[in-house]
Chains A and B, each alone.
With several copies, the nearest count.
Chain A
Amino acid sequence: MIDKTVETVAEALSGVADGATFLLGGFGAVGQATHLIEGVLETGIRDLTVVANNAGYGQVGLARLLKEGRIRKLICSYPRIVGSTVFEELYRAGRIELELVPQGTLAERMRAAGAGVPAFYTPTGAGTRLAAGKEVRHFDGRDCVLEEALSGDVALIEAWKADRWGNLTYRAAGRNFNPVCAMAARMTIAQTQHLEPLGTLDPETIVTPGIFVDRVVHIEYGSPRL
């Protein structure tokens, strides 16, 4: 029998190691695997690389990991935190490395990693300082930048419903980066608001098939707060 569910956040995170690259789903406060992210704090691991669209929100999750100095490098499109200046302070002090990536390139690089595409060309960013040092090539008369796949050791994502095979659905804008991160990590861990018996999720409506998911922990925390 396949059963990817685990009882606790600690169990869900067992085996994560210093120096790991984490892919975090979520956009704003919505679809953040906050309990898993804060669980990383408890594991004591450090020297992490984090891929996330924002630098967290408020004083929770990624913002706490940043504050505790666990993160060596952030790969991000919009490294701002509503309600917190922790990232700004670390950055100014030179205590964190930042790789700034256009939001679509960030999503596409993770999707590429998940789809076995080692690199692709895109016109996004061409002729800007974010293309500095990157290979440029013309396609259809346009400058395009070569971008490499972006994979992770661990993805921490949030789902709305899950089953023991790890099939996932999301809720509204909670989908965002979560299905993309799920594809791109060697180990994907989902916290889910609802855990359903196998076979009750409509096969037409499963957004992330269980093949992309390794562990599921049931945390019914309610609604995100902006």
Chain B
Amino acid sequence: MDTRIWTPLSRREIAARIASDIPNGWYVNLGIGVPTLVADEVPEGREVVFHAENGLLGIGPAPADADIDPWLINAGKQYVTLRPGGSYFHHADSFAMIRGGHLDLCVLGAYQVAENGDIANWATSENDTAPAVGGAMDLSVGTRRVWVAMNHLTREGEPRLVRDCTYPLTAQASVDRIYTDLAVIDVTARGFVVAEMIAGMTLEQLQAMTGATLHMPEA
């Protein structure tokens, strides 16, 4: 008998939850997957400037098929648009923005996050054939804040929030916040601190699905 009375957030709900925490005026880089969905969920009235590694600031929504500019793609190689106020620049300048701490935030997917903020999101074993890293290490190290969007558990039911990452690291001690389908968790000097759980979830249930100790915020 399943005693769960809660429903995990959908991908789009996770994205909307993240978007609600992004203030007006932030410069933000979105990774592929759920993070990309965040752009469509920015609350009315806020201007958030989205950055792409391949030299764009001010990315707008995806174009209708008839409006595609084949020269205008994002880092995920999807067609995008440029908002008024947007700009183009080359790769060294683009990564100067990332690595120089000019972006307020990046939102990344991850395989694992450790309680000290270590992130593993680019390789699943030491011996991957043809590993690929892209800009993940630069983003994790360089942006002012790193938020991770991921499911709380792997498909196999293993925790993704762990004491130590077992997958190859992307960066050390860099994640600030984790948004899962079940909770919002801050990475602090104390370790994982639960900021929010979905309706019906208990700390005990969440702890059972988490590979490191969960703390509650200090009063």
Contact = CB atoms under 8 A, between A and B. Distances in A.
A–B contact, 8 Å CB criterion (strictly below): yes
B192 interface: no
Contacts of B169: 127-129
B73 to A, nearest CB: 5
Q: How many interface residues does chain A have, given as a range?
A: 35 or more
Contacts, number: 215
A123 B141 contact: yes
A225 B132 contact: no
Identify whether the interface residues of A are mostly helix, strand, loop, or mixed: loop
Given A102-B135, A175-B89, A211 B103 contact: yes
A218 B40 CA distance: 33
Interface residues of B, number: 62
A124 interface: yes
B61 interface: no
A127 to B, nearest CB: 4
A103 B53 contact: yes
A206 B172 contact: no
Interface of B: 24-25, 27, 45, 47, 49, 51-58, 69-75, 77, 79, 82-92, 94-103, 126, 129-138, 141-142, 168-172
30 contacts: A2-B24, A28-B77, A29-B73, A30-B70, A79-B131, A88-B129, A91-B129, A98-B130, A102-B135, A110-B92, A111-B92, A114-B96, A114-B100, A116-B100, A123-B142, A125-B137, A128-B171, A129-B126, A129-B169, A172-B71, A175-B88, A175-B89, A176-B55, A198-B84, A203-B88, A210-B49, A211-B27, A211-B51, A211-B57, A211-B102
